[in-house]
Structure 1
Amino acid sequence: MPHDTTRLHHVGHIVENLAEASSLYGRLGFVVPPPSCPAMPRSEGAPPEPFGAANTHADFPDSFLELATCVKDGDTGRLPADTRLVPLEAPAEVLPLLVERIGETSANLAACLDRFQGLHILMFSSPAIDEAAVRLTEAGVRHGGVNTVRRAAPAGANSPVETIRYLEIDAQEPHSGTNVGTGAGTVPEGRVGIVADLDPGIQSARHLDHPNGATGLAEATLCVADEDLAATQHRYAAYLARRPRQEGRARIFDLDGAALKLIPESALRATLPGEEPPALPALVAYTVTVRDLPLARDLLHRNGVPVRETPTGDLFVPAKEALGTAVVFRAG
């Protein structure tokens, strides 16, 4: 029977300063377009100002990396100068709800940053998201149902509007302390969910050719306390309807051309030398495939980006050099 979750859709890197992050990703060899941000006037007759949350993507044919930040009142210095402001235009009866939802998104990003700067979003891709929602419900996994949002498609796409359908998995019970999860839309490690597959006719209109030769999102790494490994494995087996394989002390959920790696804290330094989790549990790294690993190494060296090597021969930029997440490059 075909799986209803087939690959990694995207990971979300939440940052304090989107201008700094965009510059970093350029040095890493990714093409990151100008971010977009909602905007509205602070007073009647005033020009629109950014508010809520801003984000941008580094895109691949069937996945992407997201960079996002919350926007504080009057604080535009942390946004790139070329940020695209999107004025809110909605009927008067709808506008308050729209502003409220954007505010909730911003508050969620702020809560992530209170925990640590780094990866907080993990989304899997599905060719059959409605079936995935039914399966999760039948498996006893709480989620918020399938949501639909629409936005303008990029120039050159096969449609003027891009439709995004997604669900977010809820924690089974409220969390507190260092955990982000509060039940709705989060689990202990952050926001985890399933998104309908990207539309190739729309995605192909985006910039997919990166100087580092990156071709796709290959792996996300989730570090957990040793004593929580079995319980976390059980959760993701239910989320993905797959059984993991064992690789040393790690548990690997193989998808179609990608994977989720669960690793106990005590084994992290052996997998990614020198790395420490910023919290537990935490998404500590993501991996992209590249066409030519030596060329990627040369680019990073020319751009003054320090790299290390994993025991398996992958290259990675340490989290302390990459705003809180290790960035791994693997030969495709």
Structure 2
Amino acid sequence: MTGDIHGIHHTGVLTRDLDGLERAYASFGFTLSPRSRHLLAGRPGEAPLPGCTANRCALFGGSYIELLGIVEESAPDPWHTKAMADEYEGFRLINLDTGDAEATHRSLASAGLRTSGVLDLERDVDTEEGPRTVRARAVHLEPRSTPEGYVGIAQHLTRRYVHQPRYLSHPNGARGLGAVLIVADDSEFDAITNRYTRILQVAPRREGPLTMLYAAAARLQFVRASDAEEVLPGEPVPASSYLAAMTILVDDVDDARKIVESNGTMTRPTGDGFFISARHAYGASLFFTAS
């Protein structure tokens, strides 16, 4: 399936406090797209309807970080986002990028993975050409089979309306998502890593406590929960297995760190950059490193 997966489509940080989430990531030096309400389909072939969520995004031209908020509790929830937030809020979603959601769905089924089928998503956005509708298609893996988080593969149908040039320049110099780190309970580690190996069809390799899967621009890292303290010392543990951290590629780590700290967030140095705790980033540990 490696040919179907082009990279990380987006990651998602979920909260019921979208205002606070927006303020935090803006203070880290990210330019955010305007808030946009979701239209979601509950089943394959259904028309998308207004849902309970909205987002703002830190866009990098290829991948993006979605700041996802539940903004109307009484609105329809076809993608079960409220149940996700009831478990815990934070770094809850990862979508890999495909150019053909239907083909990816067939490949996943052939690999023995249960999915939602192909679902449609829409949201209206402002562009320099006027209002436009973002359209995408997504295949979600069965959540009961992905204890680490909500996992999908997504296809842009209107990429240019998402990754608009005016939102791609960030004060912190961010250029993209370098990797996603997943903590897996020791008893679930083999099953979780094997599932991503089947999706990406690449062999894992070890680097210290980390197991790495790299395919095209999709870079996934896994660590056993018993070893997580080596990689994420003192960080919160929201579940037995969980999406733990993102690596942000930036032009200049010193400049990026000055922006973050000048806006009141503590950082700590790492070997090749710096780190923001999940306690300050709404449940997502953030590594910053040079692009």
TM-score, normalized by length of structure 2? 0.87
- Provide the rounded CA distance (Å) in 1 between the counterparts of 2:160 and 2:38: 26
Q: Which of 78, 93, 109 does residue 104 from structure 1 map onto?
A: 78
**Aligned counterpart in structure 1 of residue 151 of structure 2, from 184, 192, 207:** 192
Check the 8 A contact 1:29/1:299 in 2, yes or no: yes
Percent identity over the alignment is: 29
Q: Is the 8 A contact 2:186 2:226 kept in 1?
A: yes
Deviation by residue 1:174-194 (Cα, 9 ceiling, x = unmatched): xxxxxxx3x7xxx22222010
Among candidates 275, 283, 288, match of residue 324 of structure 1: 283
Gaps spanning 5+ residues in structure 1: where?
Answer: 40-49, 75-98, 172-180
Deviations 1:202-258 (A, max 9, x none): 323451111111111111111011232111111111222222211112211113234
Equivalent residue number for residue 147 of structure 1: 119
**Per-residue deviation, 1:55:** 1.6
One-letter code of the match for 1:195? Answer: A
**Displacement of 1:65 after TM fit?**
0.7
| SS of alignment partner, residue 77 of structure 2 | helix
Distance 1:189 1:66, change over 3 A: same
Distance (Å, rounded) in 1 between the aligned partners of 2:231 and 2:218: 18
Native 8 Å contact 1:30 1:210 kept in 2? yes
* Mean CA deviation greater in 117-126 or 201-210: 201-210
Read off the aligned partner of 2:15 and give its amino acid letter: V
Note the C-alpha offset of 1:326: 0.6
Aligned 1:162-201 pairs, distance under 5 A: 162-171=134-143, 181=144, 187-197=146-156, 199=158, 201=160
How far apart, in 2, do the equivalents of 1:72 and 1:52 lie?
A: 5
| 1:11 corresponds to | 11
Q: Distance in 2 between matches of 1:127 and 1:5?
A: 8
Cα 1:260–1:51 shift into 2, 3 Å: closer
Question: Which residue does 2:47 correspond to in 1?
Answer: none
Shift of 1:67: 1.0
Describe the shift of the 1:127–1:31 C-alpha distance in structure 2 as closer, same or farther (beyond 3 A): same
TM (norm. structure 1) is: 0.77
Consecutive unaligned residues of structure 2, counting only runs of 5 or more, are 40-49
Which of 189, 204, 228 matches 1:229?
189
Alpha carbons of structure 1 residues 73 and 2: separation in structure 2 relative to 1, 3 Å: closer
- Answer whether contact 2:135 2:157 (CA < 8 A) is retained: no
The answer to whether the Cα contact below 8 Å between 2:125 and 2:133 also exists between their aligned partners in 1 is yes
- Contact 1:51–1:73 (CA<8 Å) still a contact in 2? no
8 Å CA contact 1:57, 1:67 repeated in 2? yes
Inter-partner Cα distance in structure 2 for 1:68 and 1:260: 22
Of 205, 217, 222, the residue aligned with 1:262 is 222
1:315 aligns with 2:274: yes
Q: In structure 1, what residue type is equivalent to 2:223? A: I
SS state of the match for residue 145, structure 1? strand
Is the contact made by 1:219 and 1:286 (CA closer than 8 Å) also made in structure 2? Answer: yes
Map of 2:33 onto structure 1: 33
Q: Secondary structure at the match of 1:226?
A: coil
1:51/1:149 CA distance change after superposition, 3 Å: closer
What CA RMSD, in Å, does the superposition of the two structures yield over aligned residues? 2.6
8 Å CA contact 1:223, 1:277 repeated in 2: no
Distance 1:38 1:166 in 2: 14
Alignment-derived partner of residue 59 in structure 1: 59
User: 1:164 corresponds to which letter in structure 2?
Assistant: A
Q: Distance in 2 between matches of 1:141 and 1:198?
A: 24
After superposing on structure 2, the runs of 4+ consecutive aligned residues of structure 1 that deviate more than 6 Å are none
- 2:160 and 2:71 map into 1 onto residues whose CA distance is 32
Please tell me whether Structure 1 or Structure 2 has the larger radius of gyration of its CA atoms: 1
User: 2:45 — aligned with what?
Assistant: none
